[in-house]
Amino acid sequence: MCRLPCHLFKTYAKASLASPDTGTRRRYITRQTGKDMIIKDMEPVTIARVLDRCNVCHHIGEDFILTDFSDITLPAENRRMGCIFVGLCSQGAARYTVGTTERAIRPGDIVILAEGEVLGNINVADPLSGDVIFISHDFFYDVIRDVRDVTNLFVFAREHPVISLAPHETEVFSEYLDVLRRRVDDTTHLFRRQVTGTLIASMIYDLCNITAKITDSPMSAQGKAQEIFEKYIRLVELNFRRERRVSWYSERIGVSSKTLLEMVKRASRRTPNEWLDIYTSLEIRLLLRNTTKTIKEIASDLHFSNQSSLGKFFREHVGMSPKEYRKG
């Protein structure tokens, strides 16, 4: 069984991922309503921020961090991930939202947060404990450049971000994290970064194996379609805010729009346009709920021709106007 990723931090932490200029948790309460005010922009969770604000012992520059939930304080407001997060819960329980969906974690769950995901509304019912890792985008994709089908792992994690492991699987990942900790701490090792990367790649292979069993469709079985889908999703994640023409993506991948349609649909059961709509509609919902940007500003940020065209798109995909969604 699966859920979604992200028991990212812990309430009893020794340090904070809060505002870098104050070093304190930024929670604004209105006297009139008693509700949390929404900040103008979501500050990202980055490797640099974690290093600066948390009591972290195991890291390689701004590429990789391994720590415990208890070493990190939960941010009071929603935050967008500026790096990749993987955590293994050994104790405790929490509920939170990723994007606009509420999730829960408990012991034996492994949590995956991709760069760009928005984490918020964290409610820790029982203090969390367990190993967590933060990986920079560049280091991660350098590490897994030869690991096939990793994009499918993140596509899977968007819908099932928390994966409940069997006891023997929990033991395997605990061993990975123990070895990672020792290797990262061995600063005399001439190839420390490379060894760490190899261990991360191995761990990703095992995660892909677990998700393939859950979906009952081995991710490596689709060959060329999977390769093109991975390239497409990476480009979409980087460019959907300003470019939503399928032809633009097909040109950069080096295939025709027809081939892109066939390959993406074969690998994911969705069309290229459907993926663009999914990313765009989710981004609009996140901005409406988590920032004070006007609808006009959001339309400009996402390169809609005007506010009206954004409203039409949003109503088609969400079933209500942006203003109605924000009020709800």
Q: For residue 256, which of 266, 265, 246 has the smallest C-alpha distance? A: 246
- Is the C-alpha dihedral spanning 192, 9, 47, 136 positive or negative? positive
Is 298 or 212 the better-scoring residue by pLDDT? 298
Note whether 238 and 206 are same-domain residues. no
Return the pLDDT at 90: 94
| pLDDT over 60 at 26, yes or no | no
Among 180, 215, 250, give the residue marking a domain's end.
215
In a domain, 2, yes or no: no
Q: Please compute the mean of the pLDDT values over residues 187-200 and round it to a whole number.
A: 93
Same domain, 195 and 236: no
- The answer to whether position 141 is within a domain reads yes
**Same domain membership, residue 235 and residue 99:** no
Question: What is the DSSP annotation of 255-286?
Answer: S-HHHHHHHHHHHHSS-HHHHHHHHHHHHHHH
6 assigned to some structural domain: no
- Same domain? For 182 and 234 the reply is no
Domain boundary among 170, 197, 215: 215
Do 203 and 228 lie in one domain? The reply is: no
Is residue 248 assigned to a domain? yes
Q: Are residues 249 and 195 in the same domain?
A: no
113, 6 Cβ separation under 8 angstroms: yes
Residue 168 and residue 133 in one domain? yes
Q: How far apart are CA 314 and CA 302, in angstroms?
A: 12
Least confident of 7-11, 26-30, 103-107, 322-326: 26-30
Lowest mean pLDDT among 78-92, 141-155, 241-255, 298-312: 141-155
Q: Identify the band that residue 207 occupies on the pLDDT scale cut at 50, 70 and 90.
A: confident
List the domain range (segments joined by +) for residue 261.
224-327
CATH of the domain at 239: 1.10.10.60
Residues 234 and 118 in one domain: no
19, part of any domain: no
Whether residue 247 lies inside any domain: the answer is yes
Same domain, 231 and 209: no
Choose among 253, 241, 311, 309: nearest CA to 280.
Answer: 241
Spatial strand order of the sheet with 64-68 comes to 58-60, 64-68, 131-135, 84-88, 109-113, 162-164
Domain termination site, one of 187, 215, 243: 215
Q: Are residues 156 and 269 in the same domain?
A: no
Q: Structurally, how many domains does the chain consist of?
A: 2
Instruction: Give the mean model confidence (pLDDT) for residues 14-36.
Output: 30
- Supply the pLDDT for residue 320: 92
Indicate whether 20 belongs to any domain.
Answer: no
Q: Does residue 22 lie in a domain region?
A: no
Q: Give the pLDDT confidence score for residue 222 in this predicted structure.
A: 57
Residues in the chain: 328
Determine what percent of the chain is predicted with pLDDT higher than 90. Answer: 44
Structure token digits, residue 182? 């020792």
